[in-house]
Amino acid sequence: MESGIIVIAVTGELDALVAPKLKEVMNKHIDTGDIRLILDCHNLVHINSLAMGILRGKLQAVKEIGGDIKIIRLNNHIQTIFDMIGLDEIFEIYATEEEAVESFK
């Protein structure tokens, strides 16, 4: 993995119980200066509005300090949700980790 780029696997249901835990994990990385994050959503099966809000907020926070959050490997169901809500226009979404890493260069 490219130095300074952190990949976080997001699995299962990203709901009111799990979303705050993801926020905590992301905050720990951001607090230590890791502001280039990739969220691997290959095994994500559900995302709710709370989780979407957390993702938007974290994206805004890292962009303000020169970082970014990329999304990779969305399944068709989650991609459709991202498209309907407009998250596909806010986040850069890639098919592979390699493409996301390359986009940071």
Domain boundaries, the chain: 5-103
The predicted model gives 27-31 an average pLDDT of: 95
The pTM of the full predicted model, rounded to 2 decimals, is 0.93
CATH superfamily name and code, 5-103? STAS domain (3.30.750.24)
Question: What would the two tokens of residue 54 be?
Answer: 């957390």
3-state helix, strand, coil in the chain (%, to 5): 50, 25, 30
Condensed to tens digits (0 to 9), the pLDDT of residues 55-76 reads 999 999 999 999 999 999 999 9
Burial of 104 (0-12, 13-18, 19+ CB in 10 A): middle
